[in-house]
Amino acid sequence: MKQVIKDIAIIGSGIELHMSAAILSVALKAFGIKIVALDLPSTKPSPLVETTGPEFSALCKILGLVERDVLRQCHGTFRLGNRYITPHNDWFVPFAHLGLKAQQDDFEQGLFQVIRQQNVSDLNPWSVAASVAMAGKFAIAGNDRPDLQQALDYGVQLATKEYAIILAQTHRKLGVQWLPLSTAELSVEHDDIGNISQISAGGHHVTADFWFDLRVGQTEHDWQDCSNELPLTYRAQWHLAKPEVLLPYSQLQRLQGGWIKTSPLRNGRVIQAFAQQQKSNLVQIEQQIAKLALAPPDQAIQWSPVKCHVLNSPWQGNCLYLGEAAIELGGIAFSNLQCVQSALVQFIDLFPDLPIGEYNRQHYNRMWQGFVQDALDYTVAHFLPQSAHFAQQPSSLPDSLLHRLQLFERLGRLGPMHSDAVTEGQWYHLLFGLGLRPQVNSVVLSNMTEQQLQAATKQVAQSIASLVAGMPTQEQYLARFYPPVSLQSYE
């Protein structure tokens, strides 16, 4: 028997809870669904910064937010992608496509063919977004230039506390019932077929047709341990002063035994450290951080343990497990908030025909597995040895990633995407920066001579360089169109 959803309850804490309440209250308003949120005491450090991809603009449209206002209130900066610095290379990975046109036939394969014999370490000259980012510039193209809008696809970097305030204001306007609880201990009751019927805590007794659970490790069903593919053990975060030049990207720098990520905001920088070492060896990473002049001032680095895992079937019974309850990929490439947002959007896409039934559960879990596969593959690629042949990769690599590496190194192609978790532009630049070089020429371009290909790619690089030269710096762009404002707390 199928049961229609009329009442929803969300269990969790922090910005993930505010995001869930905001998206569900806005998207399901037309269906008259009542929503209650159980706000539990947080058991882990709250993130200091939220780094998004291009999905941020779509989220603002879903929630009815003005993107400009969100950036101003959250000390936000623009993010065209990630700059990677390793002992072997320094390159950029944008969200946007290569070339000047999104649908230019086999441009990538022609470019790979031209530069195969050259000592080229990155694809920046043939990417508008990468060239703009590395020059420290930024501008949003007008509606009369949709081609340029696509070539400058961007995300943002936001102060998490202020972002949570905006999300809280959104769901409170729509009447979400908010229950702050003083304890994380809950009493859960189930019906005869195993669905959650009631949760009690702190004198509150909540019933609902459907539940969203963002707590960590609340189910033991169908877990996939990712420790072999993602050898992360600890992470830390802290604030530093604002850099002299405000660059439109996050920066990831490879350390011996980990990574360090810098995310600039208008009121400072957030530094995140990711370790692959045991706790006794963390001092080695701390010494490297100090040499880079990125250590926290006058205080020790506070490390938190990381256990990477995914829940293969997050929709179980009448409960959907989100956040760290369903996925933890370490935070290098994907934040938990990005995963929550993706999971919620997939859920909402099933409305209005969404009774609680086996078919919808299976359909949703299949969609989720596609997102997880793409996100996991992309994150695991960050731990590949640079300039290594795919045949030399460890056997612990996911089959889907190994196939993608083989396909790219042979043909310069990526294969089908299972979700929108990662763009093709990100994959091309990441794999090229890691040292993989396609070996086989494109059949589609076989009627073009080497001279024609060289002339075409040279023209694209010159056009991009000319375009970048006339753009303002991100600092200038923000100062003119995004003057900062203060925001009242939701507490």
The domain locations on the chain are: 3-46+54-74+159-225+308-375, 93-154+383-475
pLDDT digits (tens, 9 = 90+) for 201-212: 888 899 999 999
* pLDDT in the model for residue 353: 58
157 has a pLDDT exceeding 80: yes
Strand partners for 379: none
Is residue 1 very low, low, confident or very high in pLDDT (cuts 50, 70, 90)?
very low
Give 398's contacts (C-beta < 8 A, 6+ positions apart): 229, 373, 376, 377, 380
Cα 420 to Cα 221, 329, 346, 373: the distances in Å are 26, 17, 11, 11
DSSP string, 161-202: HHHHHHHHHHHHHTT-EEEE-S-S--EEEE-TTS-EEEEEET
pLDDT score recorded for residue 396: 72
Q: What is the DSSP code string of 272-318?
A: EEEE-S-GGGHHHHHHHHHHTT-SPTTS----EE---EEES--EETT
**Which segments within 232-283 are labelled E, that is strand?**
234-240, 250-255, 258-265, 268-275
Closest CA to 331 of 44, 13, 134: 44
Is the model more confident about 388 or about 369? 369
More confident residue, 216 or 29: 29
Q: pLDDT class for 278, splitting at 50, 70, 90?
A: confident
Query: Is it the case that residue 264 has pLDDT exceeding 90?
Result: yes
As a whole-number percent, the residues of the chain with pLDDT over 90 amount to 65
3-state SS class at 121:
coil
* pLDDT higher than 90, residue 462: yes
pLDDT in tens, 49-76: 999 999 999 999 999 999 999 999 999 9
Phi-psi region of 398 (alpha: psi -120 to 50; beta: other; left: phi over 0): beta
Instruction: Specify the DSSP class assigned to residue 471.
Output: S
Note the pLDDT of residue 121.
82
Cα–Cα distance, 443 to 434 (Å, whole number) = 25
User: What are 336-387's pLDDT values in tens digits?
Assistant: 999 999 999 998 888 765 556 677 888 899 999 999 999 999 999 999 876 5
How many Å apart are CA 374 and CA 384, to the nearest integer?
A: 16
Confidence of residue 326 (pLDDT cuts 50, 70, 90): confident
Taking residues 395-410, what's their average pLDDT? 88
Assess if CATH 3.10.450.50 describes domain 3-46+54-74+159-225+308-375: no
Q: What is the pTM of this model?
A: 0.93
The neighbour count for residue 248, using CB atoms within 10 Å, is 30
What local confidence, expressed as pLDDT, does residue 482 receive?
92
Tens digit of each residue's pLDDT (9 = 90 or more) over 144-154 = 888 899 999 99
Q: If DSSP codes are grouped into helix, strand and coil, which group holds residue 425?
A: helix
Q: What is the mean pLDDT of residues 181-198?
A: 87
Question: How much of the chain, in percent, has pLDDT values that exceed 70?
Answer: 93
Per-residue model confidence (pLDDT) at position 66: 96
Distance of CA 101 to the CA centre of its chain: 24
The predicted model gives 28-34 an average pLDDT of: 90
Segment of 95-109, 260-274, 403-417 carrying the highest mean pLDDT: 260-274
CA distance 221 to 5: 23
pLDDT tens-digit map of 221-247:
678 888 888 999 999 999 999 988 999
Q: What is the pLDDT of residue 394?
A: 59
- Which range, of 78-87, 383-392, 461-470, averages the lowest pLDDT? 383-392
Which residue, among 373, 450, 442, has the nearest Cα to 412 in the 3D structure?
Answer: 442
**DSSP code of residue 87:** S
- pLDDT (0 to 100) of residue 232: 94
Least Cα distance to 133 among 77, 98, 92 occurs for 92
Residues 258, 275 contacting (CB under 8 angstroms): yes
pLDDT at 354: 57
